[in-house]
Homo-oligomer: A and B are copies of this chain.
């Protein structure tokens, strides 16, 4: 009920923004957390839209949710869905195989754009890799070194122009699993078009005061190309091919929140979350390494790369309600914070759906 209340109250303040249509919580079925619903479509359209805004005041005004009824976790399941869209469309993709290992997935219609590049991509007639298509995608055998493959695929990506927007000139390693042999490197923006797994480091910065936990949240700059103005962790970033998770985190801590190495080196790796998100030709298969950093009370974060507008310290119980009742967070941050809520005892086994939600934090290929 409080959920509906929020949607109404915020709709008054922010037309065309968050899920303002009062929708009965019953459509959020815990038994089929991935079934489509009106609310889901609404969240999706929000999560990728730009140009809307909300303030920290709106964030702090999010009301409490009931914590012990059977629908207490429904807002969390909703955010899992937000990161795992259209899973039923996996059958529209064929495996992308190198040296007998599946390293990605290519949409059958996107494959049509690759087929003219016969010196780079080939499509053998063989469904041994589990696709319901009669073929899979692979690279031409003449491309036998990582360097050759990287250059050849980069040229194709360049040739495809606006079909793959948002080129960042940032290379991601391509392997069947984390730490395994790297077959080549690929432009970050192109990774989802080839269903390549991408890895990131996400850190919750927290502190304990008077027996209560607080999280430092960032609000993304309105100038960011992705998720402008939305809430974020204290620190997060993709994992490029030439740096370890730990070193990358320390670098991001410095750039995004002004956290010196003397503090950031105490950040704890605490596990990982994963998801598969399908949108058009894109299959995002992301694995996020999660970190916790317990900060001194006196530390105040300050952004150094212009990507964060401001930071606020928010009680963890309030953060849980923001996840439950709004779409203020950049989508995948919801998963990393939900993982934090589990590990820090803020979600308890007595609540219906506990194990299902825990499992769903690793809905993707966590490897």
Task: Give the B-binding residues of A (Cβ under 8 A).
Answer: 177-179, 244-246, 268-272, 287, 289, 292, 342-345, 347-350, 352-356, 358-359, 362, 366-367
Q: Is the CB of A358 within 8 A of B366?
A: yes
Q: Is the CB of B355 within 8 A of A178?
A: yes
- A358 partner residues in chain B, CB cutoff 8 A: 271-272, 366
Whether A366 touches B359, Cβ cut-off 8 Å, given contacts A270-B342, A349-B245, A354-B179, is yes
Q: Is the CB of B349 within 8 A of A355?
A: no
6 A-B pairs with CB atoms under 8 Å apart are: A268-B345, A269-B348, A269-B349, A272-B358, A292-B345, A359-B366
A246: contacting residue among B270, B289, B348, CB under 8 A: B348
- A244 partner residues in chain B, CB cutoff 8 A: 349-350
A178: contacting residue among B344, B345, B354, B367, CB under 8 A: B354
Residue of B nearest to A274 (CB): B355
Excluding A245-B348, A270-B342, A270-B344, 15 further A-B contacts by CB distance (< 8 Å) are A177-B355, A178-B349, A178-B354, A179-B352, A244-B349, A245-B350, A246-B349, A268-B345, A271-B342, A272-B354, A272-B355, A272-B358, A287-B355, A289-B349, A343-B343
Interface centre among A179, A292, A362 (most CB of B within 10 A): A179
A270: contacting residue among B287, B343, B353, CB under 8 A: B343
A367: contacting residue among B246, B347, B350, B356, CB under 8 A: B356
